Structure 1
Amino acid sequence: MQSSELSQSKERSAYILAIATLTFALIAISFAPIFIRLSETELGANATIFNRMFIFLLVFGFGRFLARGQQEEDEAETTTQDITTSQWWLLGGVGVISIISLVLWAISLQYTTVAKCMLLNNLTPIFTSLGSWLLFGKKFDRRFLIGMAIALTGALALGFEDLKGGEGLLIGDILAILSAVFLGTYFLMVEQLRSNFDATTILLWRCGVGSAMLVPLVFFTEGQFFPTTKIAIIAVLGLGILCEGFGQRLIAACMDQLSCSFVSLFLLLEPIVSALLAWAIFTEALGFTTWLGFAVVLTGIYLAQSSSAAVQEA
């Protein structure tokens, strides 16, 4: 009995730590719109994404290289066992899928509004949960589904509030939805990879492959790769170290405890937290609907987190 209680206590502690990690990751990635705005005072959108990934690759790749000597023998025994060819292909694929999602998002903005893109991107938890159910037989109980419905209602209501007429072409809407599909696919891939690879390894592959894919895109569409002004340099460093290095890496790290469906649902808070940060930093107006949407999304997430579907299955 004591052993069972101790095991449950450890599981509960690990779960609480994972939620805390995800919360910190959410705050880190919520700075991204602010840094992107500052970066794009000099760089184009593709060059901004390139710098975000390339800086992570340099900083955390160098850190991994320094630590490699001490861990080499242990890793030889633990990380090369039971890793299949499909796992290695999956590891390389995370960069491809994430870049496709980002590029589709960027292209969609040429045909429709930012508000519409944000609205359609909020559908990501549906695609992630659908993929988990169809591909891996993940079960979702009523509590999780109701929580997801409440959180989505709050997020989508905020999106509709910002539409103000809903101008834009159908092609833009389709591309924004495809971006959400690929983002959901990325979360599914990271969830599968966490059984064999640590979060830093996954993000190094994501940023390595992503940076390589963006080089010709930046070269032919924008020309300038790196910033020269102080404000843009600080912005891309923030994107690479804070948003990618702490935000995305910690999101991947907590997927050994939390399901990708719950993680994608939790990240519905990102645009709301970004709005709160913009309010605090740029004194942008923040209406009653934003606070109400925050409360509704938070209620749905709270309900979903108490479901067994929010945690990783053993």
Structure 2
Amino acid sequence: MDSKKKIYILLTIGLFFLSLAGILIKLAEAPPLITAFYRMLFSVLILTPFFLLKYRSKIRYFLDYRPVVVGFLLAIHFILWISSIQYTDISNSVIFVALQPLFTIILEYFFAREDLQKGAVIGIIMAVLGSVIISIGDFYQLGDKLFGNFLALSAAFFAAAYLFIGRGVRKKLDYFPYLYILYSYATVFLGIGAYLFKIPFTGYGVKNYFIFLALALGPTLVGHSILNYSVRFLSTSVVSLFVLGEPIITTTLAWLLLKEEVMLTTILGGVFILGGIYLASVYNYHQQQKDKKLQGVKN
């Protein structure tokens, strides 16, 4: 088996672990803030020995204000997404969160002055239509599912924001220390949030703590680690497009394991959204390649 096939197999494994997040969150019987806090806390505790052994010199980056901001945005993302699963179907939640690449393209257009290509515009329009289709299907539950859909959509925006703002820090830091510092600040903010809202940190039972640990080990450490390892061998765009399979896997698992019914409007809207993200990402990638070639000619 050649190395590229091995990377694709590894990427598939990582994608599977990522797709377990929605299922595990649905099974947890704890406030969203607590679920997010322990997911991050356990991740940080597991990573701490490796950070201290290999990257102790990078500890000065804890004093940089940008990881603080990015950690805060990541904490908000987790709170919104985990909360959304309490109000809407898992399928709806993961599909709306998948809109993150489109929000990234829009942020790049407004704040990084990067051109918005025709294909990206069509992709965004398709995604908006898909969102409307899903919301129409949920209209009969106006105060419930629509609110959950809005939370998931907001979570996608904050995911795009923390990735967009974090780009400057990532240029200075290796991926691992950056991730460790980011997770540490997210944990701190989630802990502060739980304290301010007077949510107890204990008393959730062994089952829930195992779920929190599973979230840290599976989707967070294994899933995200494989994704970022794959970027060394495959283009970022290929990995990003591969991740579009996450809503499909999560929805299938929710149907098989949790007997969660998938509405026709969710399937139809999901096709529009994922198709729009695919189209926008592909056009965005091709434009970036053209820009690199033009830059090379100028130099």
Taking structure 1 as the reference length, the TM-score comes to 0.68
Aligned amino acid, residue 224 of structure 1: F
1:299 to 272, 275, 292: 275
Alignment of 1:210 onto 2:181:
no
Tell me the residue number matched to 1:31: 20
Tell me the residue number matched to 1:94: 70
Alignment of 1:234 onto 2:210:
yes
* Structure 2 counterpart SS, 1:60: helix
Tell me the residue number matched to 1:185: 161
Residue 211 of structure 1 deviates from its aligned partner by 1.5
Aligned amino acid, residue 279 of structure 1: W
Structure 1 CA distance, aligned partners of 2:251 and 2:190?
28
Alignment of 1:284 onto 2:271:
no
Structure 2 CA distance, aligned partners of 1:157 and 1:45?
27
1:48 to 35, 39, 52: 35
Matches within 5 A, 1:246-257: 246-249=222-225, 257=235
- Would you say how many aligned residue pairs link Structure 1 and Structure 2? 281
Tell me the residue number matched to 1:200: 176
Structure 2 CA distance, aligned partners of 1:138 and 1:22?
29
Percent identity reads 24
Taking structure 2 as the reference length, the TM-score comes to 0.71
Aligned amino acid, residue 212 of structure 1: V
Tell me the residue number matched to 1:64: 51
Tell me the residue number matched to 1:224: 201
Aligned amino acid, residue 49 of structure 2: F
Structure 1 CA distance, aligned partners of 2:243 and 2:140?
24
> RMSD of the alignment, in Å?
4.4
> Residues 299, 97 of structure 1: CA spacing in aligned structure 2 closer, same or farther, 3 A cutoff?
closer
Residue 283 of structure 1 deviates from its aligned partner by 3.1
Partners of 2:99 and 2:156 within 8 A in 1: yes
Structure 2 CA distance, aligned partners of 1:89 and 1:20?
38
> Residues 156, 266 of structure 1: CA spacing in aligned structure 2 closer, same or farther, 3 A cutoff?
farther
Partners of 1:101 and 1:182 within 8 A in 2: yes
CA offsets, 1:209-255, max 9 Å, x none?
A: 122222243345221347432x3233111111112113345556677
Partners of 1:149 and 1:300 within 8 A in 2: yes
Partners of 2:98 and 2:247 within 8 A in 1: no
* Structure 1 counterpart SS, 2:142: coil
Tell me the residue number matched to 1:114: 88
1:128 to 101, 104, 119: 104
Structure 2 CA distance, aligned partners of 1:244 and 1:199?
14
CA offsets, 1:108-159, max 9 Å, x none?
A: 899xx536x9487666444322211122122232223323433443354234
Q: Structure 2 stretches of 5 or more lacking a match? A: 293-299
Structure 1 CA distance, aligned partners of 2:272 and 2:219?
25
1:273 to 246, 249, 266: 249
Partners of 1:108 and 1:176 within 8 A in 2: yes
Partners of 2:26 and 2:85 within 8 A in 1: no
Tell me the residue number matched to 1:258: 236
Structure 1 CA distance, aligned partners of 2:164 and 2:188?
23
Residue 286 of structure 1 deviates from its aligned partner by 3.3
Partners of 1:29 and 1:247 within 8 A in 2: yes
Residue 24 of structure 1 deviates from its aligned partner by 5.4
> Residues 233, 51 of structure 1: CA spacing in aligned structure 2 closer, same or farther, 3 A cutoff?
same
Aligned amino acid, residue 200 of structure 2: G
Residue 163 of structure 1 deviates from its aligned partner by 3.7
Structure 2 CA distance, aligned partners of 1:148 and 1:22?
26
Partners of 1:100 and 1:179 within 8 A in 2: yes
